[in-house]
């Protein structure tokens, strides 16, 4: 375990968990955002250099997200949502927009959301219909977003809207939209996992042209570059949860007795745990491989990110399910670690590209060299 991982696990198991337990499920925990900054974790992905912010390390993201997830999934989610929402601003915002928002986000003083998904544009995100119409020095946005991180309470959103019809992904533009912009409203969505997620509605929301992130009609590239970077770390989130589940199952199997002997002596239990441990190690290696590849050559590693996210999230589902089976009914009680993980582990197989989308990305990479 390196220094970053050790530090992350220490603060996750201590002060961050204490703050998380005082939060309201499904709402932004602002003291937790502040604590993530105070303990240096948000600063790790928003580092300043001589000429501005240094590009975020995908490997650092993975190490932090795994360590947080192993001990405090609420802190992991808060950290991840800040990074995901802010990265389009950091990647493509003007110097003025970056300076307006990134220092506040990095300090945990402003929450940020990533607004891509729509009611009829989930996995097929390029079919989004939130309309941005040019009007003088502004764009006017009309439409709806759903399953948006930190909505409707975030101070700012990275919003993806259609500026050109009939050209699919090539007609999408990214914007930084302030929460207080007239015409922007929203509501919370209650999920089985206690994440701060909601809907946003845009009714003649006027956004100045200088709030465009990157190029007009170039927003799809901003979204994909962000997702390519964050997908390995979704896998790291899953690995952290899987490790917590495996640790709990092994400890329980060693202590629990049935039919006169320890559960760990039953091969029906111990061999399944051995399989999970093997898959978990493979998942972690895939995650680290994808992150290292992204850091070395960003923009060319989408298939590796897809492999990492796919295998790690599917493995985590198996690990948590088996851990519950080993524990029996007590793991189903509200408030048990595994009951909590069971609700948390389902979502990563859907968001930032469902498992089926990851398989499609991988398959396309296989056939691209032969021109198919």
Residue pLDDT, tens place only, 222-242: 999 998 889 999 999 999 999
Catalytic residue among 165, 352, 356, 360: 352
pLDDT of 362 reads 96
Over residues 121-177, the pLDDT tens digits come to 877 878 899 999 999 999 999 999 999 999 999 999 999 999 999 999 999 999 999
Averaged pLDDT of the chain = 95
35 close to 15: Cβ distance less than 8 angstroms: yes
173 close to 219: Cβ distance less than 8 angstroms: yes
Over residues 197-217, the pLDDT tens digits come to 999 999 999 999 999 999 999
Q: Hey, what CATH topology would domain 220-370 get?
A: Butyryl-CoA Dehydrogenase, subunit A; domain 3 (1.20.140)
pLDDT at 26 over 80: yes
Distance, CA of 172 to CA of 219 (rounded, Å): 5
Distance, CA of 293 to CA of 295 (rounded, Å): 5
- pTM attached to this predicted model: 0.94
pLDDT at 183 over 90: yes
Over residues 312-324, the pLDDT tens digits come to 999 999 999 999 9
- Annotated catalytic residue 3: no
239 close to 353: Cβ distance less than 8 angstroms: no
Superfamily for 113-217?
Butyryl-CoA Dehydrogenase, subunit A, domain 2 (2.40.110.10)
Over residues 74-113, the pLDDT tens digits come to 999 999 999 999 999 999 999 999 999 999 999 999 999 9
Please choose, from the candidates 109, 112, 42, the residue with its C-alpha nearest in 3D space to the C-alpha of residue 81.
Answer: 112
82 close to 33: Cβ distance less than 8 angstroms: yes
Mean pLDDT of 251-263: 93
Q: Is 98 helix (H, G, I), strand (E, B) or coil?
A: helix
Cα angle value 318/305/64 (rounded, 5°): 75
pLDDT at 298 over 90: no
Distance, CA of 318 to CA of 85 (rounded, Å): 29
220-370 matches 3-110 in CATH topology = no
CATH code of the domain made up of 3-110: 1.10.540.10
pLDDT of 356 reads 95
Q: Residue 201 contacts by C-beta under 8 Å, 6 or more apart in sequence?
A: 143, 144, 184, 185, 186
Check whether the bond before 152 is cis (ω within 30° of 0): yes
pLDDT of 36 reads 98
When pLDDT is cut at 50, 70 and 90, the band that residue 367 belongs to is very high
Domain residue extents for the chain: 3-110, 113-217, 220-370
The CB-side HSE value for 159 (13 A sphere, CA atoms) comes to 37
- If one compares 251 and 371, the residue with the highest pLDDT of the two is 251
Over residues 53-81, the pLDDT tens digits come to 888 899 999 999 999 999 999 999 999 99
CA separation, residue 20 to residues 60, 63, 119 (Å): 22, 20, 30
**Torsion, CA 214, CA 163, CA 118, CA 354, rounded to 10:** -50
CA separation, residue 239 to residues 294, 315, 320, 358 (Å): 19, 8, 11, 17
When pLDDT is cut at 50, 70 and 90, the band that residue 48 belongs to is confident
**Torsion, CA 329, CA 331, CA 334, CA 339, rounded to 10:** -130
When pLDDT is cut at 50, 70 and 90, the band that residue 194 belongs to is confident
């Amino acid at each position: 375990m390196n220094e970053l991982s050790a530090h992350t696990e220490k603060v996750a198991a201590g002060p961050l968990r204490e703050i998380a337990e005082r939060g309201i499920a499904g709402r932004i925990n602002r003291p937790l955002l502040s604590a993530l900054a105070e303990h240096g974790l948000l600063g790790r992905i928003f580092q300043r250099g001589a000429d501005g912010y240094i590009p975020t390390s995908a490997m650092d993201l993975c190490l932090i997200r795994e360590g947080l997830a192993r001990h405090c999934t609420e802190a992991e989610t808060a950290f991840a949502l800040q990074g995901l929402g802010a990265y389009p601003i950091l990647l493509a915002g003007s110097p003025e927009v970056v300076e307006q928002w990134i220092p506040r986000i990095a300090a945990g003083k402003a929450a940020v959301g990533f607004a891509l998904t729509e009611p009829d544009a989930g996995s097929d995100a390029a079919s989004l219909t939130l309309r941005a119409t040019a009007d003088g020095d502004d764009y006017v946005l009309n439409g709806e977003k759903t399953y948006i991180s930190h909505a409707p309470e975030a101070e700012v959103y990275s919003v993806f809207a259609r500026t050109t019809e009939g050209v699919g992904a090539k007609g999408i533009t990214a914007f930084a939209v302030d929460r207080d912009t007239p015409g922007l409203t929203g509501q919370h969505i209650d999920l089985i996992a206690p994440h701060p997620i909601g809907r946003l509605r845009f009714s003649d929301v006027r956004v100045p042209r200088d709030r465009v992130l990157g190029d007009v009609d170039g927003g799809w590239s901003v979204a994909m570059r962000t997702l390519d970077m964050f997908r390995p770390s979704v896998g790291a989130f899953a690995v952290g949860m899987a490790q917590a589940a495996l640790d709990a199952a092994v400890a329980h199997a060693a202590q629990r007795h049935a039919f006169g002997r320890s559960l760990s002596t039953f091969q029906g239990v111990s061999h399944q745990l051995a399989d999970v441990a093997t898959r978990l190690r493979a998942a972690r290696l895939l995650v680290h491989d994808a992150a290292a590849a992204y850091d070395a050559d960003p923009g060319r590693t989408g298939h590796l990110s897809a492999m990492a996210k796919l295998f790690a999230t599917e493995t985590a589902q198996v690990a948590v399910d088996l851990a519950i089976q080993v524990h029996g009914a007590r793991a189903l009680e509200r408030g048990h670690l595994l009951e909590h993980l069971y609700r948390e582990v389902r979502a990563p197989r859907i968001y930032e590209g469902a498992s089926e989308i990851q398989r499609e990305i991988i398959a396309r990479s296989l056939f691209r060299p032969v021109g198919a």
